[in-house]
Amino acid sequence: MAAETSNALRSRYAIVLHGGAGGDPKKLPEDERTQIQAAMQQALSTGRALLACGGSALDAVERTIRILEDEPLLNAGRGAVFNSAGGHELDAAIMDGRTLACGAVAGVRTVKNPISLARAVMTGTRHVLLVGEGAEALARTLEFERVEPSYFSTDRQREKWERAKRLAADAARTGQPVAAWDDEHKGTVGCVALDRHGNLAAGTSTGGTNNKLPGRVSDTALIGAGTYADNATCGVSCTGTGEEFIRHGVAKDISTRMAYLRQPLDEAVTHVIEQTLRPNDGGVIAVSHDGTIAVRFNTPGMTWAAADEQARFEVGLGHE
């Protein structure tokens, strides 16, 4: 069970974000790097300011992810990848480390900010995960901001989709494995925060993987795979090849290593990245119950940002 905390405000707080693992973001065009960095800085500033004044980790996670969902150069919300049918299906999850309450949505098509709908599943229903039309119906009932599916489309992601389709067709024609397009920066977004009440929260949002089959659900939406938080241990958000994070229950495994093996956060995260996952599978951001921040990945790069009460304010493009 998650640890209880007192009402007294502590001095310690911490927040870490990611904007996806994959290809090295330093190889993106300069204007794209500048735009992504600005979005990460805006999100980090928003979350840090909220935490500094005693706001909740849950609010910090939701608000920062909403900013990143609105950034068209990232693969969450606007700018999401296309599935093989030429549409967009969005996944998101959020978790409260204080109570282990959690909520998630998968396969949503018209919800502007899926992370907020995931939080509504957590707080307004007795369920954890709603998918497809069920999630859309909840959004209509709660009068969430909704958009036409075309809102999520960008020329940049359409070009990537067309390339992925060509590679898949070439593989089918020759009988060879599908050529990799892992040199692309994938752009899933996530946030983990520790607030001054001692509570942890984690959230993740994604458009999934390029040219995915319709109906595919990512690790992002599966609590314990791509998203997890427990005040007794840590909060975790993952990015990368979702199927591998699902197979290994990566987010929960990091927490479990801290609980049962008494591993420090960095050791637990490093073990999973270097020994459980394969090279190029992805990356992890995490915050422990004592405010330690961890950023690790085994891809060429990952976009991330971190801040705490000790004046740390850092945005990383492609390096740890």
Which fold, 14-309? Glutamine Phosphoribosylpyrophosphate, subunit 1, domain 1 (3.60.20)
Instruction: Sketch the domain layout of the chain as residue ranges.
Output: 14-309
Cβ atoms 282, 239 nearer than 8 A: yes
pLDDT of the residue at 170: 80
Query: Is residue 188 flagged as an active site residue?
Result: yes
Handedness of CA 35, 118, 247, 294 (dihedral sign): positive
Question: Could you tell me the pTM of the whole model?
Answer: 0.94
Structure tokens given for 178:
């599908």
Reading the chain (320 residues) residue by residue, the pLDDT tens digits are 455 445 578 899 999 999 999 888 888 899 999 999 999 999 999 999 999 999 999 999 999 999 999 999 999 999 999 999 999 999 999 999 999 999 999 999 999 999 999 999 999 999 999 999 999 999 999 999 999 999 999 999 999 999 999 888 887 778 766 655 445 666 899 999 999 999 999 999 999 999 999 999 999 999 999 999 999 999 999 999 999 999 999 999 999 999 999 999 999 999 999 999 999 999 999 999 999 999 999 999 999 999 999 999 999 987 65
Q: Which residue is catalytic, options 188, 204, 206, 303?
A: 188
Q: Which residues pair with 205 in a beta bridge?
A: 92, 189
What is the per-residue pLDDT for 186?
Answer: 67
Q: How far apart are CA 10 and CA 76, in angstroms?
A: 33
Q: What is the pLDDT of residue 25?
A: 82
